[in-house]
Structure 1
Amino acid sequence: MKGNEMWQGKLLTIHTTTRARAPMIAHDTAELMAGVGIAGDRYAKGVDKGTYSALPDVREVTLIEQETLEALMRDHDIKVEPQEHRRNLTTQDVPLNHLVGRRFSVGQVVLEGGRLNTPCRYLDMITKMTICDLLEHRSGLNCRIISSGAIHRGDTIRLV
């Protein structure tokens, strides 16, 4: 993606969970807190951070592309519902792999792309599908929250 390319995406779903292995809970709106995470989410609570990766990372909020879920269905006949992929935000028309190290807004909240998310076998276990390897390089983006505020389903996502 070149610096002068412009795109505009959309926030489709918002999910949080209170602890590891607990079901994801859908929200129409959520409060993002800079340097902390999503209000009520297990990563914001500072406990039960999970064992997703030994790699250093900021994981205040996680995103995945709707296009990835559509590709799983189209190419492998595997349907993954938004509450099953274990990411906080599902986006549409947002080039997540190109946002590592870049700032972008979700509504009025500014995020900064950290590292690409690493798929894990836990996803295979909870969905009872073999999808971990299919998500290599398409498992989403871990982000830092730069400015606090509320986000809402349907918010516009764009570079800042």
Structure 2
Amino acid sequence: MTRVAALHIAPERKAPMVAVDHVEVEAGRGVVGDRYHGTRHRHVSVQSLSELAEAGAEWGRPVAASATRRTIAVDHGRIPTTPGARLVVGDVELEVVRKAAPCRVMETSVGPGAARAMHDRGGAICRALTSGTISVGDPVVLDPAAEGSAVAAGTPPP
């Protein structure tokens, strides 16, 4: 099973990312205490450590989860990037808004060439459909429809 490997927030734009053990998510608003809380659609960003490892192999050195400025890093798997796709992290349901493109900040925070290596491996930008707590170690369902979950039936997770 896929699990939350790391959580990072930044209280304001360009502030350093801070590793945390858990985050509170508000439906329609995002992660409490994060710079994107209250934005229209960019509530939560999700990436995969296995995709970061692929990028690191292509780039020639490791890419740290905190350096990508994503909120949630899962331990393995492919993050869905199709708008409208859903995933469940802990007890929070997320909806993909768009693919997360590697940001220009990565060229300085990670190093030259990192953004190119992250192309199509940057994860997803999501909106929070439900409220709840997400903690390191929580289970992650990357494709609820394939697993026949309540999300696939159109009902929120318990």
Q: What is the TM-score with the length of structure 2 in the denominator?
A: 0.82
Structure 2: give runs of 5+ residues left out of the alignment: 145-150, 152-158
Match in the other structure for 1:152: 135
Q: Within 5 Å, which residues of 2 pair with 1:52-71?
A: 58-71=41-54
User: Counterpart of 1:11 in structure 2: which amino acid?
Assistant: V
2:26–2:32 contact (8 Å) kept in structure 1: yes
Q: Which has the higher contact order (CA 8 A, sep 6+)?
A: 1
Give the secondary structure class of the aligned counterpart of 1:72: helix
Do structure 1's residue 88 and structure 2's residue 71 form an aligned pair?
yes
Aligned residue for 1:42, secondary structure, equals coil
The reply to whether residue 15 of structure 1 matches residue 8 of structure 2 is yes
Deviation string 1:27-85 (CA, Å, 9 cap, x unpaired) is 11110111111010011155xxxxxxxxxx82100011101221133333222212111
1:32 to 1, 25, 31: 25
Q: In structure 1, how many angstroms separate the alpha carbons of the residues matched to 2:17 and 2:3?
A: 20
In 1, the alpha carbon distance for the partners of 2:118 and 2:83 equals: 17
Tell whether 2:36 aligns with 1:43: yes
Contact 1:64/1:140 (8 A) holds in 2: yes
With the length of structure 1 as denominator, give the TM-score of the two structures.
0.81
Q: Please report how far the alpha carbon of residue 98 of structure 1 lies from its aligned counterpart in structure 2 after TM superposition.
A: 5.2
CA RMSD of aligned residues (A): 1.8
Alpha-carbon distance change, 126 to 76 in structure 1, aligned in 2, over 3 angstroms: closer
Large movers: runs of 4+ above 4 Å: none
The one-letter amino acid of 1:135's match is: M
Structure 1, 123-132 or 34-43: larger mean CA deviation = 123-132
* Corresponding letter in the other structure for 1:41: D
Cα distance in 1 between the residues matched to 2:56 and 2:86: 30
Instruction: Return the letter of the residue paired with 2:59.
Output: H
Q: How many residues align?
A: 143
Aligned identity (percent) is 29
How far off is 1:99 after superposition? 5.3
